[in-house]
Amino acid sequence: MVRQGTSGKSGSKPKGTAGRQAGRPPLKAVYRRRRLFVGLVLLLIVSVALGGFAAVSGAMRASEQASSTDRNGPDGQAAQATPSVTPSIPATPTCDQGLVTVSASTDKGAYAAGENPLLTLKVTNGGKVACEVNLGTSQMEYTVTSGSDRIFSSVDCQAESGDLVKTLEPGQSETANFPWQRNRTVPGCGAVSAKPGAGGAYYMFVARLGTKSSSKAVFQLN
């Protein structure tokens, strides 16, 4: 028996559902999920980019700070170049010619008749540094006087003279002897017939070396 009002066909699909598979979500929900996924990806890319830029900026700031620390001192103040100090070299001591002295002496204080005095010139380096001294005959003079009377000079009749430079160590002395013949001389070595007086007369001997002269050495002739 057939009911009225029915088409006779069962299982017909409702309207508005044609072309859509059963069990699939609506298209609007799918689009929303896709847009959300794309937005998350873009946000992640921007975050990575910003994070990388921040890291690079931080590294650059750290490099600048390190460079500034190199240029400045540890307390942040500008480091000043330390001038190089050249060690001073002590000056080599030089000879003080003022400490080179000349002295005069005789081998005796009194001489018998016919006995010739031996006149000695002595030069001494009284300094603490070695000195070069010209000890040549060109620098020496032996002079004998009696009061204001010039009796004898070794240069009056000196035939030859020369230089002799020697090094005198501190405290070292050199001597040069001259035997006086008890004769008189005059400059130019002219002839002199007079003889020095005897009988206990006193004479004074002075030695000279260059510009240095000794004090007087007194002796007696009999």
Q: How far apart are the first and last CA of the chain?
A: 202
**202-220 residue pLDDT tens:** 999 999 999 999 999 999 9
Residue for token pair 């006149």: 119
Q: What are the angstrom distances between the C-alpha of 23 and each of 20, 26, 90, 91?
A: 9, 9, 107, 110
Q: In whole angstroms, what is the distance from residue 53 CA to residue 47 CA?
A: 10
Burial of 163 (0-12, 13-18, 19+ CB in 10 A): exposed
Q: Max CA-CA distance within the chain?
A: 204
Tell me the β-bridge partners of 205: 144, 217
**111-121 residue pLDDT tens:** 999 999 999 99
- Identity (one letter) of the amino acid at 1? M
* Percentage of the chain modeled with pLDDT above 70: 63
The whole-number pLDDT of residue 85 equals 74
**Three-state DSSP class for residue 123:** strand
Token output for 15: 């309207």
The stretch 24-46 carries a mean pLDDT of: 64
List CB contacts of 221: < 8 A, sequence separation 6 or more: 110, 111, 117, 182, 196, 197, 198, 200, 201, 202, 203
**120-169 residue pLDDT tens:** 999 999 999 999 999 999 999 999 999 999 999 999 999 999 999 999 99
Going 56 to 61 to 64 to 66, the CA torsion angle's sign is negative
**80-113 residue pLDDT tens:** 666 677 777 777 889 999 999 999 999 999 999 9
Q: In whole angstroms, what is the distance from residue 18 CA to residue 171 CA?
A: 137
